[in-house]
Amino acid sequence: MQGANRMKCVSVSGKYLLYEMSGRPIFAAPADSRSLRSAGLHRFQPSTARRAVYRNLLGVCMILHLDQVFTRSVMSPLEVGDDNVFNWDTWLQYMQQYFGSPDLKAVVFWPTNTERGRLYVHLLDKNGDPVAFVKVSVSSESENNARLRKEADTLREMQTRGLKSFRTPKVLTLGRIRDYSYLVLEPLSVLAKPIPRRLQAYPAEAAKEYAGPIRTVSLDMAPTLSWWEPYLNSLDDRSRAFHDELIKYIRCSDISVCRAHGDLSSHNVVRDETGLWIYDWEESVPDAPASTDIIGFVIALNQSAVRRNPVQWTKRLKRRYFERVDFRSRGEFMAALAFRHTIGIDDAALIMRNWGQA
């Protein structure tokens, strides 16, 4: 985020302790309660191995009463911009009133990519038990706020389906404070654990259930897809070889579309004592390429390697999804990459831009 949308932390003595890693904010928790900070840390589901090591180190430091050595005191977990300040205290007071709990506290987590304009808040009671999970848009951009509205709509639709193979969190409320949206969901179980980071853990049964009916779309019908125009607008000269080949395959065999999660990866799927839960439906659409989630899951497992050597990984993926398959299968794979690029996941852009070299 730039200019008025830049996230900043307040570096004065205050109500929260801010935990950082390499100068980047990780999470903030109430300064006056070590037990709440410890409970908040247990809500932290790290998306990278490095963050997992950091979480475990902080846990040891909290036990030894050394965690304050690695923090700084702040008045509020964040400020947004110079003119449009997200009034944290006002929002937290509203949440306390909404849940009828004046003792409600908040621990705050930043995503790995702060450019997403998101903040993740776990609301806890005075005993440290979870009350709600909140996604806050800390960017006033209309598209960013619209994604939370879309997620709320998708989750409400899922709740009407009578799901059998997985569950989604219930929407408690969707609101705004000034120009910033927030989505309040039922909390994740304290016993929930992310699924293993391996292909065998892919939730195929769940993906088939939420996909619903599959339909085919010809090249002439592509402009009717919700993501096609944004895809075309996102192309640059480096992606031209990819796009030309994609068009060739769609012209020959059409593509299949259905409901997709959009960003299905191991850190968005957890398992607890009740079964499987799938979170983070911001990118879900009812007309995504049918292979979107399985392809995205595979790439997400190897995301760091793709970023380090996109040419090598483009070659690997081509060997895996292009050898001994028909035109339709090739088109399905490429359409899934196009969709992944459209929603802003950089690994897909790297593959597309190196398509002609692989």
DSSP 322-356: HTT--HHHHHHHHHHHHHHHHTT-HHHHHHHHTGG
Q: pLDDT above 90 covers what percent of the chain? A: 60
Say if pTM beats, i.e. exceeds, 0.85.
yes
Strand partners, 317: none
- For residue 343, the model assigns a pLDDT of 93
Question: Could you identify the residue written with the tokens 């969707």?
Answer: 174
Task: Report, as an integer, the average pLDDT of 105-116.
Answer: 82
- For residue 309, the model assigns a pLDDT of 96
Q: How far apart are CA 20 and CA 13, in angstroms?
A: 16
- The DSSP result for 204-229, as a single string, is HHHHHHHH-S-EEE-GGGGGGSTTHH
What's the mean per-residue pLDDT of the chain? 87
> Around Cβ 63, how many Cβ atoms within 10 Å?
11
- For residue 85, the model assigns a pLDDT of 55
Query: What domains are defined for the chain?
Result: 3-190 (3.30.200.20), 194-357 (3.90.1200)
Q: Is the dihedral of CA 188, 193, 197, 200 positive or negative?
A: negative
pLDDT for residue 340 is more than 50: yes
Tokens representing residue 188 in the block: 């994740």
Q: How far apart are CA 250 and CA 241, in angstroms?
A: 15
Q: How far is CA 175 from CA 81, 94, 114, 212, in A?
A: 20, 11, 21, 29
- For residue 257, the model assigns a pLDDT of 97
> Around Cβ 281, how many Cβ atoms within 10 Å?
24
Tokens representing residue 62 in the block: 């909290």
Task: Report, as an integer, the average pLDDT of 84-90.
Answer: 73
Q: How far apart are CA 343 and CA 300, in angstroms?
A: 14
Length in residues, the chain? 358
Q: What is the pLDDT of residues 305-325, one digit of tens each?
A: 999 999 999 999 999 999 888
pLDDT for residue 295 is more than 60: yes
- The DSSP result for 82-151, as a single string, is SSS---HHHHHHHHHHHTT-TT-EEEEE--S-GGG-EEEEEEE-TTS-EEEEEEEE----HHHHHHHHHH
pLDDT for residue 253 is more than 80: yes
Q: What is the pLDDT of residues 43-86, one digit of tens each?
A: 777 666 676 777 777 778 777 777 777 788 888 887 544 335 56
Q: What is the pLDDT of residues 10-53, one digit of tens each?
A: 333 458 888 887 778 888 888 888 888 888 777 777 666 676 77
Task: Report, as an integer, the average pLDDT of 272-277.
Answer: 93
**CA terminus-to-terminus distance, the chain:** 33
Task: Report, as an integer, the average pLDDT of 326-346.
Answer: 94
Helical pair 240-253 and 327-342, crossing angle rounded to 10 deg: 130
pLDDT for residue 168 is more than 60: yes
Which of the two residues, 199 and 6, has the higher pLDDT score? 199
Strand order across the beta sheet in which 193-194 lies: 193-194, 269-272, 275-278
Helix-strand-coil percent breakdown of the chain, rounded to 5?
Answer: 45, 20, 30
pLDDT for residue 110 is more than 90: no
Task: Report, as an integer, the average pLDDT of 241-264.
Answer: 95
The b/e string for 18-50 (b: 16+ C-beta within 10 A; e otherwise) is bbbbeeebbbbbbbeebebbbbbbebbbbbeee
Tokens representing residue 305 in the block: 């390697």
Tokens representing residue 17 in the block: 């302790």
Among the listed residues 313, 211, 195, 316, the one whose alpha carbon sits nearest the alpha carbon of residue 265: 195
Question: Could you identify the residue written with the tokens 């004065």?
Answer: 12
- For residue 122, the model assigns a pLDDT of 93
- For residue 140, the model assigns a pLDDT of 65
- For residue 88, the model assigns a pLDDT of 84
- For residue 144, the model assigns a pLDDT of 81
